[in-house]
Structure 1
Amino acid sequence: MSARKPGVVFLLGPTASGKTGLAVELVERLDAEIVSVDSAMVYCGMDIGTAKPDAETLARAPHALIDIRDPAQPYSAADFRADAIAEIERIHAAGRLPLLTGGTSLYFRALEDGLSDMPSRDEALRARLTAEAERDGWHALHERLRAIDPDSGRRIHRNDAQRIQRALEIHELTGLAPSVLHARDRDRRNASALPWSICKIAVAPARRQTLHERIAQRFRSMLAQGLYAEVEKLYARPDLSLELPSMRAVGYRQLWQVMDGDMTLDEGIEKAVFASRQLAKRQLTWLRSLDDVNWLDSEEKNIENQALTKIKNARLRTGAVL
């Protein structure tokens, strides 16, 4: 009988759902360490607007992968995957349980599924293909696809405009048949399969309105804590701009535009709250698409005990077999 794989906990949830507080409670009741899965918390000097744990919280429960980059430096999903695997291996080597928590779904996907070789969307190319379809019809573009890639032509229905467009886009951008790239992606995912047992727990309020209220309240609290001054300090740096991923983070982008004179502060606050709600919506859509997720209602009492029960029932092994 083969030994059980080392365990990992994914603590998931939309923004403002209470993930960090729950993670800290779990660390104190499990032999665990937290690894942050947040594309904004990696940056130094971006503390208030990212809801980064304060010094007291970090003393109780240290977080790996926060404050590891200057905002002027790029940090990619590939960087995160490499760093997260190294942290998980370190925690396992210490005989402890890694607890990964954060709201960056791209990072969770990159870690679990690996990185795709598929090209990104090309809006100009898509517009041209759409214009050709309006002129010649999607059936004509489907015939073109069948000539380029018979496998994709058989798999994609002649009325499925979205998939026809994406397949032709992939071919024009790469020069390769989409079916070839899809096969490569499957092989890559199989080769990069993680050697761990993963327990996924998602925490969110049952009512959407509750989450919306939390998001608005949290942003007001951030402003009271000095978020505007934090962004002002970043704005004063000549090496930072809205072209950088760090400054496109929700809240920072809108206040930067306020400082640029593009909108009033009240408009910036309204747009930041709206953007946060849209982010939460995308996060929840992704979470609902996942398999084997244990959902918890953040409004219920004793949520820590519920999470502990889910983790214990998963019978995760901590550390390496010696």
Structure 2
Amino acid sequence: MNHLPPAIFLMGPTASGKTALAIELAQRLPVELISVDSALIYRDMDIGTAKPTPAELAAAPHHLIDILDPTERYSAAQFRTDALRLMAEITARDKIPLLVGGTMLYFKALEEGLHDLPSADPALRAQIEADAAKLGWPGMHARLVDLDPPTAARLSPNDSQRVGRALEIVLATSKPMSAWLAEQTSEPLPYQLTKLALMPERPVLHERIAQRFDAMLNGGLIEEVAALRQRYALSLDLPAMRCVGYRQVWEYQDGLYDLDELRNRGVYATRQLAKRQVTWLRGMTDIQTVLASTSLTALAASLKQQRQH
């Protein structure tokens, strides 16, 4: 018999409906929600992150939302520490931790533990930064595609921090990050996991992404970014401003392109994010796919039964 306490992962690409499903499940199961989203951690970034509304948060409070200013940084290691603490507290209250979001790196770090990768090489990183100043980070990402295809497939071309780190590792050791990770022993999460994935069909997901980005623009995303730039000492190098939509609005505000191009770039970047998230999900094991037609009553009953066993 498995004596580990239960926990639920609810994962999926952006705009797949995770928040709505999590709130529905919270009405039917004794769960507490933990956000697994590297954008929702930031205060004052509400529209472009599709943050749950005050009404939704009142119905189903989420942990790890609005915990940092947009000028701050947050790592997978910090997330794992925070999530493990919260999961223990939730379990002690005889509730089930329900972790919901789309930051797959956080889910992986939580489930498997953190890997002991080679230490940083400041001189090599400085050279990588100099190359990036000439080629741009998409150009550096293209280099990573040649050197470490599995890692490149899950990283955004504009994710300077992670692309730079992956290049640093392969150039310093002649072994790609994906190979380092594959060789490391895991540190299993001490919970009986149920892993759910919302995976809409691609045309449906693409339509949702377009509709949601249009709603963000109509709902004040441009004004939100303007207010952030006025309130905080921000730059495009900060993780907060690498969130999909924010970089595109920033560049629009700087006159690099017009509103139509902003819309097209925002939708495209969101679709690329969703593609990377789906790639992560397809590489994970023991996942139950949840469809739009899945009965919530049946799903809740199934989860209750798993808890009893």
Q: Would the TM-score normalized by the shorter structure come out above 0.5?
A: yes
Partner SS state of residue 262, structure 1: coil
1:19 matched to 2:18? The reply is yes
Q: CA separation in 1, counterparts of 2:33 and 2:282?
A: 23
Which structure has the larger Rg over C-alpha atoms? 1
Counterparts of 1:64-213 in structure 2 under 5 Å?
64-119=63-118, 170=169, 173=172, 182=180, 186-187=184-185, 189=186, 192-205=187-200, 207-213=201-207
Pairwise CA distance, 1:49:
0.8
Given that 2:35 and 2:99 are in contact with CA atoms closer than 8 Å, whether structure 1 keeps it comes out as: yes
Measure how far apart 1:293 and its partner are: 0.6
Distance in 1, Cα, partners of 2:168 & 2:224: 42
Unaligned runs of 5+ in 2: 129-145, 152-166
Q: Distance in 2 between matches of 1:182 and 1:239?
A: 36
Query: What is the CA–CA distance in structure 2 between the aligned matches of 1:103 and 1:272, rounded to whole Å?
Result: 18
Say if 1:40 and 1:183 are closer, same or farther in 2 by CA, change over 3 A.
Answer: closer
User: Partner letter of residue 242 of structure 2?
Assistant: R
Contact 2:71 2:232 in 1 (8 A): no
Deviation at 1:185, TM superposition (A): 5.7
The answer to whether residue 8 in structure 2 is matched with residue 9 in structure 1 is yes
Write the distance in 2 (CA, Å) between the matches of 1:238 and 1:34: 29
Check conservation: 1:48, 1:230, Cα contact below 8 A.
yes
Deviates more, 1:18-27 or 1:264-273: 264-273
1:268-297 C-alpha deviation (Å, 9 max, x unpaired): 111010010111111111111111111011
Go from structure 1 to structure 2 and tell me whether the alpha carbon gap of 1:250 and 1:171 turns closer, same or farther (over 3 Å shift). closer
Is residue 274 from structure 1 mapped to residue 273 from structure 2 by the alignment? no
Matched letter for residue 234 of structure 1: L
In the alignment, which residue of structure 2 is the partner of 1:264?
A: 258
Q: Matched residues in 2 for 1:81 and 1:183: separation?
A: 17
Deviation of 1:204 (Å): 2.1
Aligned counterpart, 1:315: 307
Counterpart code for 1:240: L
Q: Are residue 48 (structure 1) and residue 47 (structure 2) matched?
A: yes
CA distance change for structure 1 residues 262 and 27 in 2, over 3 Å: closer, same or farther?
A: same
Instruction: Give the superposition deviation at 1:264.
Output: 1.3
| 1:67-112 deviations in Å (ceiling 9; x for gaps) | 0000001111111111111110110010000100001011101111
Q: Distance in 2 between matches of 1:250 and 1:182?
A: 28
With over 3 angstroms needed to count, the CA separation of the structure-2 counterparts of 1:288 and 1:239, relative to structure 1, is same
Q: Partner amino acid for 1:96?
A: K
- The structure-2 alpha-carbon separation of the partners of 1:316 and 1:35, relative to structure 1 and needing over 3 Å to count, comes to farther
* 1:130-151, Cα deviation, whole Å (9 max, x unpaired): xxxxxxxxxxxxxxxxxxxxxx
**Partners of 1:8 and 1:316 within 8 A in 2:** no
TM-score norm. by structure 1 comes to: 0.76
Distance 1:11 1:238 in 2: 32
| Maintained 8 Å contact 1:20/1:101 | yes
After TM superposition, what 4+ stretches of structure 1 lie above 3 angstroms from structure 2? 119-125, 168-172, 181-185
Residues 183 and 255 of structure 1, relative CA distance in 2, 3 Å threshold: closer
User: Which of 283, 290, 297 is 1:305 aligned to?
Assistant: 297
Question: Where do 5+ consecutive residues of structure 1 fail to align?
Answer: 126-160, 318-322
Does residue 1:222 correspond to 2:216, yes or no? yes
Per-residue deviation, 1:221 = 1.0
Shift of the 69–183 alpha-carbon distance from structure 1 to 2, 3 Å rule, reads closer
Q: What is the RMSD computed on CA atoms of the aligned residues?
A: 3.1
Q: CA separation in 2, counterparts of 1:13 and 1:287?
A: 7
Distance (whole Å) between structure 1 residues aligned to residue 301 and residue 172 of structure 2: 48
Paired residues of 2:113 and 2:189 also in contact (CA < 8 A): no
